[in-house]
Structure formats: C-alpha cells, structure tokens
C-alpha cells in the first residue's frame, strides 16, 4: 500500500525496540519503523500495513494514497534537496552567483481554479483564432496562385540584354568597315580588334605626317 506524508522524511515508529534482558531471559527486539522518502512510502508487508493503519498519526501526519490520483501535500512539503547557492570566484573575488530555481507551490484548489479559468479563456478565444488562421491560410494560397499564373503579355525584361545586342551590332559594323571578319568572335574580341585597328591607323598617320 502507498502512503503519503506531509513531511518529506517522516519516520514512523510502529513498534519500539527492546534491549535483551539476560536476567529474565528476554531476547532483544528490533525496532519496526517506516521511513518516508520525498513524502512517499510503499509498504508491501500486510502486517506493516495494518500497523500503519492503526498508528495514531494515520490521517493526520500521513494518509493512504492507493485511491488518490494526486498528492494533496505536494504544495506543503519541503524538498529534500535544499536550495543551492553557487558563487563563481575569479582571482579570489566573487564574479557571479547562481541560485538553484525555486518551484512555486500552490494549493490544489487554487491550481484547479486557475486551470479551469485558463480552459474557459481558451474556449472563448478559440473561434476568433481559428477564423484568423483560416484567413491567413486563404491569403497565402491566393498569393501562391498569383505567383504561378503566367502573364499573357509579358513586359520586356530590363536586364540590359537589348543594350548589349545593340553594342555588339555596332562593333560588327565597325569591324566590317575596317576589313575585319566578325564571324565567330565575341564582343570583347571585337572591341580589342577594333581598338587595335584604330591604334594602327593613328600610328600610320603620325608616321606619314
């Protein structure tokens, strides 16, 4: 049977021990006790269970918890592990301090009231949240459809390709005028050939002069 106590380390003496009495021939008797760990004790022996149920502290210091789903003393019980404060030292001087987190404890009645209120608020907010979510989803789908639709009259792209083609044609024309075969040559090659011819013509003119 499972028992729950108000204190974390409650120690129940079910039968006190007795020392041996050699004169009367009475043997020694060991102490029979149950110690709770973190407020919980699991007793398997039927004799000890009956002694626990007959103890004066039953239903006062501890209770039977086989039929209880929650721990009614959890908010009252102190943790077995104490709060730790760690101080970081550097060159003999404290530079930081870490404190172990402290859990907030509330009575089960207040906790249930908070949970019920939170559930009520969630139910009130749920319809508007669903409507807003659906609105956002519909808007996103419409935007995706617009992006996938093909424009029947696409506007010309302003990426500079037309300007490059115009320059290339002009270079081809100049190359033909200067007696250069432009077939199979790229724009950079045409530029260099035209520049070389111009430079040669200028040099020839200077020599003649």
Q: What is the pLDDT of residues 169-187, one digit of tens each?
A: 777 777 777 666 666 666 6
Q: Which residues contact 104 (CB under 8 A, 6 or more apart)?
A: none
Domain residue ranges in the chain = 2-64, 106-147, 162-208
DSSP 8-state secondary structure symbol assigned to residue 72: T
pTM of the model: 0.42
pLDDT tens profile 123-134 = 888 888 888 888
- Between helix 161-177 and helix 187-208 the angle, nearest 10°, is 40
């Amino acid at each position: 049977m499972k028992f729950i106590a108000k204190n974390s380390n409650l120690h129940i003496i079910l039968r006190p021990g007795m020392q041996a009495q050699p004169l009367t021939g009475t043997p020694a008797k060991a102490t029979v006790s149950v110690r709770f760990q973190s407020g919980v004790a699991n007793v398997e022996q039927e004799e000890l269970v009956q002694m626990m149920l007959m103890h004066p502290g039953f239903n006062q210091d501890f209770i039977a918890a086989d039929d209880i789903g929650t721990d009614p003393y959890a908010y009252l019980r102190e943790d077995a592990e104490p709060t730790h404060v760690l101080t970081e030292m550097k060159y003999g001087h404290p530079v930081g301090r870490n404190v172990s987190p402290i859990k907030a404890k509330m009575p089960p009645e207040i906790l249930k009231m908070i949970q019920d209120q939170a559930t009520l608020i969630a139910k009130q907010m749920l319809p508007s949240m669903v409507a807003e979510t659906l609105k956002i989803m519909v808007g996103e789908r419409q935007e995706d459809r617009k992006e996938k639709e093909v424009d029947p009259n696409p506007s010309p792209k302003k990426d500079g390709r037309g300007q490059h083609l115009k320059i290339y044609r002009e270079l081809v024309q100049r190359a033909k005028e200067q007696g250069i075969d432009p077939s199979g040559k790229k724009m950079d090659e045409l530029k260099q050939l035209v520049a070389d011819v111009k430079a040669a013509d200028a040099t020839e003119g200077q020599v003649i002069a």
